């Protein structure tokens, strides 16, 4: 039976020596270090080292009586308490990992040639992604459903965003889908081509900046998808370049009709 207990303790993560010492302690109750070492057939130094390790886990208690060091085990029920505490600590760490993963993914380029994909559904994190790519030095090329975008923005946020773009001298071109008058803020390094929503029915944004492809939805639920891949970014940039040219042709056609 004792061998079976030792084996089960080993499965819980205890070493063979710790498992053996713990079972002996449970059997004898209270014992000195030298006697315990003798019963476990261990060198005294090894026995004391094992006891110190077990004391850290709360499995062994030391009591000094008349300068004699006595060791006795905590109750078997304490073993369950130890793992309950560890489980609670692990749950807290897992939450920290979940919160940290998006940030780590945001700075990681991953293995060569393998795209890094990040999905964000939290509104604050979606706003953070917007701010991230606005800080990049690469040209921004994008298609934006502007009327839908405005529904998620407040005037202070828009002013802050525009100031950030101007301050970082972010250069870009944007196809703006809107039925409202649209003017670029003074000092902007952006060039925009505005199209009526009669051309397209979209509630999102498609952006390429450097090696990043970003897609945002501005419907009832806001989310963002970020893909970090130079190859995919170059491919999407070609698509947006063609869309940019087509937008220019559509605008020229509209002007021709009015004239």
Q: Give the model confidence (pLDDT) of 37-77 as tens digits.
A: 999 899 999 999 999 888 887 888 888 888 888 998 888 88
Residue ranges of E strands in 59-203:
60-65, 68-73, 116-120, 140-145, 172-177, 190-195
- For residue 25, is it within any domain? yes
Same domain, 16 and 118: no
Model pLDDT, residue 244: 92
Whether residues 160 and 247 share a domain: the answer is yes
At residue 258, does pLDDT exceed 60?
yes
Q: For 164-221, what is each residue's pLDDT tens digit?
A: 665 666 678 989 888 887 776 656 677 889 888 888 878 889 999 988 999 998 877 7
Domain containing residue 21: CATH number = 1.10.10.10
Same domain? For 230 and 125 the reply is yes
Q: Which residues pair with 174 in a beta bridge?
A: 142, 192
Domain-embedded: residue 62: yes
Residues 6+ apart with CB under 8 A from 158: 150
Same domain, yes or no: 35 and 117: no
CB 222 within 8 A of CB 233: no
Please check whether residue 171 lies inside any domain of the structure: yes
Same domain, 68 and 138: no
Give mean pLDDT, residues 78-102: 85
Last residue of a domain, one of 76, 98, 122: 76
Give the range of the structural domain holding residue 183, as residue numbers without chain letter. 110-258
């Amino acid at each position: 039976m004792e061998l079976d207990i030792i084996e089960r303790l080993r499965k819980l993560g205890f070493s063979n020596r710790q498992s053996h010492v713990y079972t002996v302690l449970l059997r004898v109750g209270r014992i000195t270090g030298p006697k315990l070492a003798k019963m476990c057939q261990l060198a005294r130094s090894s026995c004391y080292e094992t006891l110190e390790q077990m004391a850290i886990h709360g499995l062994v208690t030391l009591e000094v009586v008349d300068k004699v060091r006595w060791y006795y085990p905590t109750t078997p029920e304490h073993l369950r308490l130890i793992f309950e505490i560890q489980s609670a600590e692990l749950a807290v760490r897992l939450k920290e990992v979940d919160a940290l993963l998006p940030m780590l993914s945001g700075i990681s380029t991953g293995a060569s040639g393998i795209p890094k994909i990040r999905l964000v559904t939290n509104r604050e994190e979606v706003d953070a992604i917007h701010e991230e790519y606005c800080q990049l030095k690469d040209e921004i090329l994008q298609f934006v459903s502007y009327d839908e975008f405005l529904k998620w923005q407040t005037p202070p946020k828009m002013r802050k965003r525009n100031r950030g773009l101007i301050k970082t001298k972010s250069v870009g071109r944007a196809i703006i889908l809107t039925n409202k008058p649209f003017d670029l803020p003074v000092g902007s390094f952006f060039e925009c081509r505005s199209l009526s929503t009669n051309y397209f029915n979209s509630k999102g944004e498609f952006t390429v900046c450097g090696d990043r492809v970003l897609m945002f939805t501005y419907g009832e639920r806001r989310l963002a998808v970020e893909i970090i891949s130079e190859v995919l970014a170059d491919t999407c940039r070609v698509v947006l370049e063609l869309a940019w040219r087509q937008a220019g042709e559509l605008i020229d056609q509209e002007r021709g009709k009015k004239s």
